[in-house]
Structure 1
Amino acid sequence: MKIIMITGFLGSGKTTLMQNILCEYGKSMKAGVIVNDFGKENIDAKLLGEEGIALSELSNGSIFCACIKDKFVDSLIEMSHRDLEYLFIEASGLADPSNMGIILEGIKNETGGRLQMQGSVCITDAQTFLNIYNLLPAVERQITHADMIIVNKSSMVGAETIEKIHEIIKEKNTEAAIYDTDFCKVDMQHAIFELTNHKKEAEETTNAVSNRALTLVVKGDTPVQPEVLEDLLRSVMPSAYRIKGFAQTTEGCMSVSCTMKNFNMNPWKEAEPTSIVFVSAVGIQLISLVSGWLQEHKETGLRIG
Structure 2
Amino acid sequence: MHTAVLDATTVETLVSAAVAAPSIHNTQPWRFRLDSDALTLEIRAAKERGLRHIDPAGRALHLSVGCAILNLRIAIEHFGWEPVPRLLPRPDEPDLLATVRLGGSARTSSYSSLYDAVWRRHSSRFPFSERPLPTAVIAELTEAAHAEGARLHHLPPHSADSVLRLTREAEHRNTTDTDRARESRRWVTAGDGTGLGMPSAVLGPQDYREHIPMRDFGARRHPALLTARSFEQQPSLAVLSTAHDRRTDWLRAGQALERVLLVATAYGVRASLLHQALEWPDLAQRLVPWPDAHPAHAQMVIRLGYGPEGPASPRSNMAVLSSGDA
TM-score bracket, shorter-length normalisation = under 0.3
- Using the size of structure 2 for normalisation, the TM-score is 0.23
- Using the size of structure 1 for normalisation, the TM-score is 0.24
- Please state which structure has a larger fraction of its residues in helix: 2
